[in-house]
Structure 1
Amino acid sequence: MGNPSLDAYQQVFGLACIANRAGGYNGTGSELQLQLQYDLSFYLNNVPPVKVMGQTAPSVADSSVTPILGDWNLVWGPALIEETDQKEKPTGVADNALFVAQCDAVAYPGGPTLPTYVVAVAATNPASLYDWETEDFSVAEVVNWTNYNPVLFKPSAYNGTDPYISNGTATGIKILLSLTSPPTAASPGTTLEEFIASLQPGPQSAIVFCGHSLAGALSPTLALYLKQHNQLDAFGVSLVYPTAGPTPGESAFANLFNNTFPPLPEGWTAQSGDYKSWNTMHWNTLDVVPHAWHQTDLQQIAQIYGQSPNLLTRSTLNTLQRLVLKRAATSGANYTRIQNQSLPGTLQHADQSSPTINTPPKTMKDYITQLFLQHVSLYSGIPAQPGSPAVQGLILPQPLPQPVYPPGKALLPGVKKVTSLELIIRIMEQILAWIASYATSLDGTLPKENSKNSSNKSKID
């Protein structure tokens, strides 16, 4: 087989996009895990069969995918977790998900061709209140990275010297490292650490960690944790390709990551192109999410799409901005991006769910729809729609092919697909509820961060 049409950066990002499919469904944890595994069988080879859907043998990737994405095999997972909320009720969504894929020969631009493992971490699930409260927005407290233990940790006062990560990032890493590949998945019964330790890749090999949104903060932090604990030593090259991520920690942590993972491996040649750099967080300038949690960047979010002419919308966005600024400042830490590269976003004026998106936003729906497009669609491209030409993505030219299944065989029993409009409404509801809880507080304090750790989970293993 010839080289795929996507380069190595795009292949890795494409695998992160596939991991995000877990967020497009509602169901129980076991149903969602099998649905993700079923979807992976369209894109990857050697995915164990999902018998309830009539599969009887490991998958062969669809012929429409391999010329684009390349010839990748599933080697671990997928594993995911359905959390319980503060009332101990299952969330009904995939709150975190993870898989590992392997390719025998990845041609790195400006570098060698290497056998490669990719650890693909799923993004924030827009329908997951747990993701929002416990991982994304839990930044008012910090955890000292110097003595961070994912099994047992607690926030501590910022001392201004050591590297620190947000409490949300610390919780997310704990969750990822606790996931076990299910009995019917690839490399069953092993954690990610156990799986990596079992490999003997040799010096002419690479491992890449990738993820979007929440995973744009978790994937570099996970890679740094494993690197510092000598668990990546068997690989000749260790890389990270995070996108659209908020800041995982403060300035000392960012410097530690930057020094541990320089943008270019020794002997490789730098490439031209905004998205073409390793160990660098790539972000769309019109994407709200990567504006968190640096103070200066947060001051842009209320008017990032222009000042709303509507008083209520303008007031709501200003309140949101004040709230997130106060939350970030409470930690006392100077949240700082890891080394990064901006990508030039363009405002969108229509979407499948909204024939007209007003810019500046007249309503919160205008704002959230634009946010959703900028945070999700613009990185991988928007297909042509009636009356609207295709929009080339900032990393992928167009989205990967969508799975094609026999009639009546797209969804597992009990699984419901969530539309983009439903996700937009859910995001809007969660943001408005969060603002309301702040605005109605008698003492003006912040809504409490969800201190519920990962000790009580519906882990799928």
Structure 2
Amino acid sequence: MTNPSLDAYQQVFGMAGLANRAGGYNGLGIQLQEQLQYDLSFYFNNVPPVKIMGQTTPSTADPSVLPVLGSWELVWGPALIEEKDKKGIPTGVADNALYVVKSESVAFPGGPTLPTYVVAIAATNPSSLYDWETEDFSVAEVVNWTTYNPSNFAPSAYNNTDPYISKGTATGVSILLELISPNNAASPNTTLQQFLAGLHPEPGTAIIFCGHSLAGALSPTLALYLKENKDLNAFGVTLVYPTAGPTPGEAKFADLFNSKFPPLPPGWQQQTGTYQSWNTMHWNDLDVVPHAWTVSELAKIATIYGQATTNMTASILKALQKMAISNSSSSGASYTRIQNQSLPGQLQHTSSSSITIKTPPQTLQDYMLQLSVQHVGMYNGIPAAGTNPPVNGLILPQPLPKPAVKLVPGVTAVTEFEMIMKIISQIIGWISSQYVLVEKENAAQNVEADQ
């Protein structure tokens, strides 16, 4: 078979994006899992049939996919979880998702051709308040990495000696390790660790962990945990390809990850593309998300798209920035990016659904639409729309082929505009809930300074 048009970096990034498909739907957990599995059957071979959608045999990838993405087989999952909110009510969305695929032959740029497994982790679901509150924004408390047990952990005071991760990262990794592949999925009724323990890969086989956004923090952390736990010893090469991620931990954790995961395996040649580095977090410099949680980077987010032209929008963005810095600083740990590579963003003036974006932002909607385009579209490429020409992405030239939309009974699709409005309402709610606390803290600090 001819090599696919996407190189290994791009293939892995594309598969991270496919894990995010569950975030585009509302429904019950079992329905969302079936929807994700059905969607994956367009891209991969041997996806178990989703009988409610009329499938009777394992899938064969669509002919439009093979020349682009190459030939991959689903070997575990997909598994996802629908959490419950503080009142015990199911969220109605996929809060975390994960799957594993395998290819018999992947040509690594500057390296060998190897059998390869990819562990693809879903990003933040924009509609998941649980993701925002419990995983993304939960950075005010930290967890000691040297004693971290995913099944039983608690935050502790930062001692300035050991590596630490955020409570949100610790929670996310714990959830991923608890996910069980369902009865109707690949390698059913197993966790990821159980699946890995049962493998007997050929010598030299590679395994790659990937994820975007929230998963840009979870994928390197999960890979490091499994590596230190000796769950990956059977593999000849272990790599991570995180994108657009916030910092999972502080400086000593970043140093630990960097020491265990150098940018290239021994003997591999560095490539020229800015996106072509393994074990490196790649991020668009106009994307707000990877500016978290380093304080100096957070100080840029209120005006990253220019000074807002209305006082109300400027005030909200300034408050958001102030809250984020306060959360990042409160534990005493200095959040630090793992080894990373910035990619040059480009401001856009229309969204993927052709909504006009004013730049600098006039409203919070303008800011969030720009954020959405920079956080997703600019990495994947933006197709031509109307008189707007296509925009090549920072990693993918253009988005992967898409199947015709066909929904599992009980599942509804979420539009881009609905996602943006949900994000706006959640961020404003978060600012409102935190603002009084921050003002009280500032007042106490001022009194202490006066004394």
The bucket for the TM-score relative to the shorter chain is: over 0.9
In 2, Cα distance between equivalents of 1:320 and 1:155: 24
Asked whether the equivalents of residues 117 and 208 of structure 2 are also in contact (C-alpha less than 8 Å), the reply is: yes
Other structure's SS at 1:444 match: helix
Q: 1:357-413 CA deviation, whole Å, 9 max, x = no partner?
A: 1111010000000000000111000000001000000000000001136xxxx0000
In structure 1, distance between residues paired with 2:39 and 2:315: 42
Report the counterpart of residue 169 of structure 1 in structure 2: 169
User: Which residue does the alignment assign to 1:238?
Assistant: 238
- Deviation of residue 443 (structure 1)? 6.4
1:308 aligns with 2:304: no
Which residue number corresponds to residue 456 of structure 1?
none
Q: Secondary structure at the match of 2:418?
A: helix
Q: Distance in 1 between matches of 2:171 and 2:193?
A: 17
Q: How big is the shift at 1:441?
A: 5.1
Which of the numbers 410, 425, 432 marks the counterpart of 1:414? 410
User: Deviations for 1:302-349, whole angstroms, at most 9, x for unmatched residues?
Assistant: 000011121111011001100000000001100000000000000000
**Matched letter for residue 340 of structure 1:** N
**Structure 1: how far apart are the matches of 2:160 and 2:304?**
31
> Structure 1: how far apart are the matches of 2:360 and 2:307?
6
- Report the more deviating stretch, 63-72 or 354-363: 354-363
Q: One-letter code of the match for 2:337?
A: R
Shift of 1:265: 0.2
Measured after TM superposition, the shift of residue 204 of structure 1 is: 1.8
Structure 1 residue 203, shift from structure 2 partner: 2.5
User: Could you report, residue by residue, the CA deviation over 1:129-154 in whole angstroms, capped at 9, with x for unpaired residues?
Assistant: 00000000000000000010000000
* Partner residue, 1:424: 420
- Show the counterpart of 2:210: 210
Quote the Cα distance in structure 2 between the aligned partners of 1:444 and 1:70.
56
Partner of 2:99: 99
1:455 is matched with none
Taking the TM superposition and a 5 Å limit, the aligned residue runs for 1:291-306 are: 291-306=291-306
Give matches, 1:169-318, under 5 Å: 169-318=169-318
2:431 corresponds to:
435
Q: Would the aligned equivalents of 2:178 and 2:191 in 1 still touch at CA under 8 Å? A: yes
Matched-pair contact (CA < 8 Å) for 1:244–1:290: yes
> Counterpart amino acid of 1:436?
S
**CA shift at 1:440, angstroms?**
4.7
Contact map agreement 1:82 1:94 (CA 8 A) in 2:
yes
State percent identity of aligned pairs: 67
One-letter code aligned to 2:291: H
Read off the aligned partner of 1:364 and give its amino acid letter: L
- For 1:58, give the aligned amino acid: P
User: Residue 207 of structure 1 aligns to a residue in which SS?
Assistant: strand
Q: What SS does the corresponding residue of 1:282 show, helix, strand or coil?
A: strand
1:88-127: CA deviation from partner (whole Å, max 9, x where unpaired): 0000000000000000000000000000000000000000
Letter in 2 for 1:404: A
CA–CA separation in structure 1 for the residues paired with 2:347 and 2:295: 24
1:3-49 Cα offsets, whole Å, 9 max, x none, are 00000000000100100001000000000000000000000000000
Task: Report the counterpart of residue 7 of structure 2 in structure 1.
Answer: 7
Q: Distance in 1 between matches of 2:207 and 2:60?
A: 23
Instruction: Give the conservation status (yes or no) of the 8 Å contact 1:116–1:206.
Output: yes
The 5 Å alignment of 1:20-99 reads 20-99=20-99
- Read off the aligned partner of 2:292 and give its amino acid letter: A
Aligned-residue offset at 1:437: 1.6
Gaps of at least 5 residues in structure 1 are: 447-461
Q: Distance in 2 between matches of 1:315 and 1:204?
A: 54
Which one-letter code corresponds to 2:25 in the other structure?
Answer: Y
CA distance in 2, matches of 1:352, 1:266: 41
Q: Report the secondary structure of 1:38's partner residue.
A: helix
Equivalent residue number for residue 373 of structure 1: 373
* Greater relative contact order, per chain length (Cα 8 Å cut-off, separation 6+): 1
Unaligned runs of 5+ in 2: 443-451
Distance in 1 (CA, whole Å) between partners of 2:439 and 2:423 is: 26
- Structure 2 counterpart of 1:93, one-letter code: V
The 5-angstrom pairing of residues 336-351 of structure 1 reads 336-351=336-351
RMSD (CA atoms):
1.1
Q: Tell me the residue number matched to 2:333.
A: 333
Q: 1:91 to 1:445 in 2, by over 3 A?
A: farther
Report if the CA contact (8 A) 1:77-1:98 is conserved. yes
User: Is the Cα–Cα contact under 8 Å of residues 438 and 445 in structure 1 kept in the other structure?
Assistant: no
Q: Secondary structure at the match of 1:246?
A: coil
Cα distance in 2 for residues equivalent to 1:374 and 1:442: 29
The one-letter code matched in structure 1 to 2:331 is S
Q: Secondary structure at the match of 2:286?
A: coil
Q: Which amino acid aligns with 2:42?
A: F
Query: How far has the Cα of 1:81 moved from its partner?
Result: 0.2
Q: What TM-score comes out, normalization by structure 2 length?
A: 0.97
Contact 2:323 2:438 in 1 (8 A): no
Q: Is the 8 A contact 1:221 1:248 kept in 2?
A: yes
Letter paired with 1:414: G
| 37-46 or 193-202: bigger deviation | 193-202
Q: 1:276 to 1:383 in 2, by over 3 A?
A: same
**The residue matched to 2:19 in structure 1 has which SS?**
helix
